[in-house]
């Protein structure tokens, strides 16, 4: 299972994405990445399925030394250094605060995460397969400069995945042109899972209000590292084919040679 990222930054010169995405037949898309935060996820819920109420684990990582805080009950928690792991629901918008950014002392960035789909891990192993979202030093610097960055995290199509080796704990991303919609391109290359939006907006006053925090939606935070479980734990046992002479749990004895009629 490989998670990829498409990145789009306003007022930045970016390369145009090419390849398999341009070979897909034309499709009418109702959703766009520039829609108001939360609208795409709410539309996904109307499609039905096991989406509503599910806490999808999400792991947010930041440059070393940075502190990532999540919006909880009308404010931000104390935060975690370098990374945070939490369960988020589809259809909500989750506000974060990134502080103690290297080379930007005293400055803060307030990104948002919107889940638009979920993963389907083995039973009891959801925390082992979170949606990875990396906040790079470059993107944080762009936000502090007043630029707006949109990233779409998507699950690759196995048949069209690029044959490129992944680097441990480093999220690969593709930059697209300013005239392209990252949500549309991500849909052509796989299945969009989450949308990250990051700009220079900061709360009004010393205390963020409910509107800025999107009213602190339901959150399931993992305070400790999930316990490692065996790879096959929670899975059904493999069903082996029946042996010769066995059908539906019954064993049939072979007749003695003396009772077998020969022709």
Mean pLDDT value of segment 56-62? 95
pLDDT of 14 above 60: no
Give the helix ranges, DSSP H, for the chain.
39-45, 137-144, 182-189
261 vs 60, more confident = 60
Is 187 in a helix, a strand, or coil?
Answer: helix
- pLDDT band of 260, cuts 50, 70, 90: low
Count how many Cα atoms sit within 13 Å of the Cα of residue 130 in the half-sphere of its side chain: 24
Residue 45 has pLDDT above 60, yes or no: yes
Report domain extents, the chain: 3-225
| 217 class by beta-carbon count within 10 Å (0-12 exposed, 13-18 middle, 19+ buried) | middle
Please return the burial class of 218, using the count of CB atoms within 10 Å of its CB with bins 0-12, 13-18 and 19+. Answer: exposed
The pLDDT value given to residue 24: 45
pLDDT band (50, 70, 90) for residue 35: confident
Tens-place pLDDT, residues 77-115: 999 999 999 999 999 999 999 999 999 999 999 999 999
Average model confidence (pLDDT) across the chain: 80
The 10s digit of each residue's pLDDT in 64-81 is 999 999 999 999 999 999
Average pLDDT on 162-178 reads 74
Q: Of 116, 108, 102, nearest to 151 (Cα)?
A: 116
Task: Please report how many Cα atoms fall inside a 13 Å half-sphere around the Cα of residue 237, on the Cβ side.
Answer: 3
DSSP character at residue 159: T
Q: How far apart are the first and last CA of the chain?
A: 59
Q: Which residues contact 241 (CB under 8 A, 6 or more apart)?
A: none
pLDDT tens digit string along 204-255? Answer: 877 788 999 999 999 998 875 555 666 666 666 666 666 655 555 555 566 6
Nearest partner of 143 among 151, 154, 132, judged by Cα: 151
Q: Which residue has the higher pLDDT, 88 or 163?
A: 88
């Amino acid at each position: 299972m490989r998670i990829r990222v498409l990145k789009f930054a306003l007022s930045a010169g970016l390369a145009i994405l090419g390849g398999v995405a341009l070979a897909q037949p034309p499709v009418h898309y109702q959703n766009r990445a520039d829609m108001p935060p939360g609208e795409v996820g709410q539309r996904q819920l109307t499609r039905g399925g096991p989406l509503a109420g599910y806490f999808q684990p999400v792991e947010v990582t930041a440059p070393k030394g940075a502190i990532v805080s999540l919006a909880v009950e009308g404010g931000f928690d104390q935060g975690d250094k370098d990374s945070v792991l939490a369960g988020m629901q589809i259809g909500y918008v989750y506000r974060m605060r990134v502080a103690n950014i290297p080379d930007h002392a005293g400055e803060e960035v307030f990104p948002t995460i919107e889940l638009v789909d979920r993963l389907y891990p083995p039973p009891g192993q959801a925390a082992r397969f979170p949606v990875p979202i990396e906040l790079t030093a470059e993107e944080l610097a762009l936000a502090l400069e007043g630029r707006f960055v949109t990233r779409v995290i998507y699950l690759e199509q196995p048949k069209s995945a690029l044959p490129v080796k992944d680097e441990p704990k480093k999220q690969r991303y593709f930059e697209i042109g300013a005239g392209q919609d990252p949500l549309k391109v991500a849909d052509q290359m796989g299945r969009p899972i989450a949308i990250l939006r990051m700009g220079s907006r900061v709360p009004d006053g010393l205390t963020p209000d409910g509107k800025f925090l999107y009213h602190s939606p339901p959150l399931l935070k993992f305070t400790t590292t999930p316990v490692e479980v065996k790879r096959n734990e929670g899975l059904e046992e493999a069903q082996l084919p029946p042996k010769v002479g066995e059908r539906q749990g019954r064993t049939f004895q072979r007749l003695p040679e003396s009772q077998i009629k020969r022709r």
